[in-house]
Structure 1
Amino acid sequence: MSANRRRRRLSLLVLALCSSVLLAACSSIPTSSPVGHIEADSGDDGASNARIPDGPAPGDSIGEIVRGFLAAGSGTGNNFSVAKSFLTDAEAQEWNPQESVSLLSNDTDLDSLNIGVTSDQKTLTISPPVVGLVDSSGVYTSTKPGTQSTLEFSLRQENGEWRISSAPDGLLISQAEFQTIFLNYSLEFFTSDYSYLVPDSRWFLRSSSTPTAIINELLSGPASYLSGAVITAIPDGAKLSDSNVVRIENGIAHISLEAQDPAPTDREKGLIRQQIASTLKVIPSISDIELTIGGQVVSASLQPKTDSSVQVDGPPVVLANNSLSRVSGTTVAKVENSPDLKGAGASDPAVSFDDSLYVYLQDDGKKLMRFKTDTGAATAIYEGKRLVRPSLDRFNTAWTGEKENKGALTAIGRDGQDYTVAADFLSGRELVDLDVSRDGTRIAVLSSQKSEPDRIDVVGVPRDKAGNPSSGVSDAPIEVGSNFDEIKDISWAGSTSLVALAAMEGDGTQPFRIGVTGPSEQLGEVPDGDRIAAGEDSRSILVTNSSGGLYSYNSNAWQKLVDVAAKDPSYPG
Structure 2
Amino acid sequence: MAADRKGGARRRLGRAVAYAAAGVVLLAGCASMPDSGDLRDVESTPRQDTGVRVFAMPPAEGAGPGEIMQGFLEALTSDDPEYDTARKYLTAEAASAWRPERSTTVLANGPSIETDCGPGPREEANSVTCVLAGIRVATVDAQQAYQPADGFYRKKLHLTKNPKSGQWRIDGLPDGVVMGKSDFQRNYTSVDKFYFASNTAVGTAGQPVAVADPVFVRSKVDPMTQMVRSLLNGPTAWLGPVVRSSFPTGTALRKGASGLAPDDQNRLTVPLNLEGSQVAASKCTEMATQVLLTLRNLAPTLEGVALEGTGGDRLCELTEERAESVAWHGSSKRPEYLYFLDGKHQAVRMPTGSTGTGAVPVPGPLGEGEKALRSVAVSRDEHTAAGVGDEGRSLYVASLASGGSLGAPLLTSAGPTPADRLTTPSWDARGDLWVADRDPHRPRLFVLEQGVGDGEPEQVAVPDLSGRIKDVRVAADGARIALVVEKDGEQSLLLGRIQRDDGTGQGISVDGLRPAAPDLEQVSAVSWAGDSRLLVVGQEHGGVQQMRYVQVDGSTLDGPAPGALPGVEAVAASEDERVPLVAYSEDGIVRLPSGAQWQKVDKDGTAPVYPG
Measured against the shorter chain, the TM-score band is 0.7 to 0.9
Give how far 1:283 is off: 4.6
Distance 2:531 2:578 in 1: 11
Which residue pairs with 1:377 in the alignment?
405
Distance 2:516 2:83 in 1: 30
Distance 1:341 1:103 in 2: 55
Which residue pairs with 1:271 in the alignment?
286
Contact (CA 8 Å) 1:491, 1:498: kept in 2 or not?
Answer: yes
Paired residue for 1:75, among 74, 78, 98? 78
Contact (CA 8 Å) 1:551, 1:561: kept in 2 or not?
Answer: yes
Which residue pairs with 2:234 in the alignment?
221
Q: Specify the code of the residue in structure 1 equivalent to 2:494.
A: I
Unaligned runs of 5+ in 2: 1-8, 25-41, 202-206, 415-420
Distance 2:380 2:92 in 1: 61
CA 1:126 to 1:270, structure 2 compared with 1: closer, same or farther past 3 Å?
Answer: same
- 1:194-205 equivalence runs, <5 A: 194-205=207-218
Give how far 1:152 is off: 2.6
Contact (CA 8 Å) 1:63, 1:115: kept in 2 or not?
Answer: no
Distance 1:416 1:565 in 2: 34
Distance 2:101 2:582 in 1: 39
Answer yes or no: is 1:423 the counterpart of 2:473. no
Answer yes or no: is 1:189 the counterpart of 2:195. yes
CA 1:551 to 1:57, structure 2 compared with 1: closer, same or farther past 3 Å?
Answer: farther
Which residue pairs with 1:33 in the alignment?
44
Q: Specify the code of the residue in structure 2 equivalent to 1:489.
A: A
CA 1:472 to 1:10, structure 2 compared with 1: closer, same or farther past 3 Å?
Answer: same
Contact (CA 8 Å) 1:443, 1:459: kept in 2 or not?
Answer: yes
CA 1:392 to 1:289, structure 2 compared with 1: closer, same or farther past 3 Å?
Answer: closer
Which residue pairs with 2:5 in the alignment?
none
Paired residue for 1:314, among 336, 360, 368? 336
Which residue pairs with 1:445 in the alignment?
483
Answer yes or no: is 1:508 the counterpart of 2:508. no
Give how far 1:115 is off: 4.6
CA 1:63 to 1:548, structure 2 compared with 1: closer, same or farther past 3 Å?
Answer: same
State the number of aligned residues: 538
Give how far 1:171 is off: 2.5
SS in 2 for 1:476: strand
Contact (CA 8 Å) 1:489, 1:530: kept in 2 or not?
Answer: yes
Contact (CA 8 Å) 2:529, 2:573: kept in 1 or not?
Answer: yes
CA 1:268 to 1:34, structure 2 compared with 1: closer, same or farther past 3 Å?
Answer: closer
Which residue pairs with 1:84 in the alignment?
87
Larger RCO (CA within 8 A; separation ≥ 6): 1
SS in 1 for 2:184: helix
Contact (CA 8 Å) 1:440, 1:461: kept in 2 or not?
Answer: no
Q: Specify the code of the residue in structure 1 equivalent to 2:194.
A: E
Distance 2:334 2:506 in 1: 26
Contact (CA 8 Å) 1:369, 1:381: kept in 2 or not?
Answer: yes
Contact (CA 8 Å) 2:570, 2:607: kept in 1 or not?
Answer: yes
Give how far 1:533 is off: 1.5
Which residue pairs with 2:581 in the alignment?
541
Note the alpha carbon deviations across 1:505-560, whole angstroms, 9 max, x for none: 33212111112234245333211222121012275212222x35333223355414
Contact (CA 8 Å) 2:114, 2:130: kept in 1 or not?
Answer: no
Q: Specify the code of the residue in structure 2 equivalent to 1:217.
A: S
Distance 1:550 1:232 in 2: 41
Note the alpha carbon deviations across 1:149-179, whole angstroms, 9 max, x for none: 3333222223434432222222223344333
Note the alpha carbon deviations across 1:460-488, whole angstroms, 9 max, x for none: 454779xxx98234633443222323322
Contact (CA 8 Å) 2:443, 2:468: kept in 1 or not?
Answer: no
Q: Specify the code of the residue in structure 2 equivalent to 1:540.
A: P
Distance 1:230 1:405 in 2: 35
Q: Specify the code of the residue in structure 2 equivalent to 1:178.
A: F
CA 1:479 to 1:244, structure 2 compared with 1: closer, same or farther past 3 Å?
Answer: farther
Runs of 4+ in 1 over 6 A off after TM superposition: 13-16, 301-304, 340-345
Which residue pairs with 1:564 in the alignment?
603
CA 1:495 to 1:461, structure 2 compared with 1: closer, same or farther past 3 Å?
Answer: farther
Distance 1:455 1:332 in 2: 34
Distance 1:65 1:402 in 2: 59
Give how far 1:400 is off: 1.0
CA 1:488 to 1:115, structure 2 compared with 1: closer, same or farther past 3 Å?
Answer: farther
Distance 1:354 1:273 in 2: 26
Contact (CA 8 Å) 1:257, 1:293: kept in 2 or not?
Answer: yes
CA 1:340 to 1:353, structure 2 compared with 1: closer, same or farther past 3 Å?
Answer: closer
Which residue pairs with 2:494 in the alignment?
456
Give how far 1:431 is off: 0.7
Answer yes or no: is 1:255 the counterpart of 2:271. yes
Distance 2:593 2:563 in 1: 11
Contact (CA 8 Å) 2:251, 2:272: kept in 1 or not?
Answer: no
Distance 1:312 1:249 in 2: 27
Contact (CA 8 Å) 2:501, 2:508: kept in 1 or not?
Answer: no
> Once superposed, what is the RMSD of the aligned Cα atoms?
4.0
Give how far 1:316 is off: 2.2
Give how far 1:223 is off: 2.4
Answer yes or no: is 1:519 the counterpart of 2:556. yes
Answer yes or no: is 1:349 the counterpart of 2:376. yes
Distance 2:573 2:284 in 1: 36
Distance 2:85 2:501 in 1: 49
CA 1:65 to 1:504, structure 2 compared with 1: closer, same or farther past 3 Å?
Answer: farther
SS in 1 for 2:94: helix
SS in 2 for 1:70: helix
Distance 1:257 1:15 in 2: 38
Contact (CA 8 Å) 1:408, 1:424: kept in 2 or not?
Answer: no
Distance 1:415 1:237 in 2: 42
- 1:154-303 equivalence runs, <5 A: 154-158=158-162, 159-191=165-197, 192-193=200-201, 194-207=207-220, 209-243=222-256, 250=263, 252-259=268-275, 263-284=278-299, 288-293=304-309, 295=311, 296-300=313-317
Contact (CA 8 Å) 1:523, 1:556: kept in 2 or not?
Answer: no
Note the alpha carbon deviations across 1:230-272, whole angstroms, 9 max, x for none: 3321222333444465766956434122449x83333223323
Contact (CA 8 Å) 1:32, 1:110: kept in 2 or not?
Answer: yes
Distance 1:405 1:137 in 2: 41
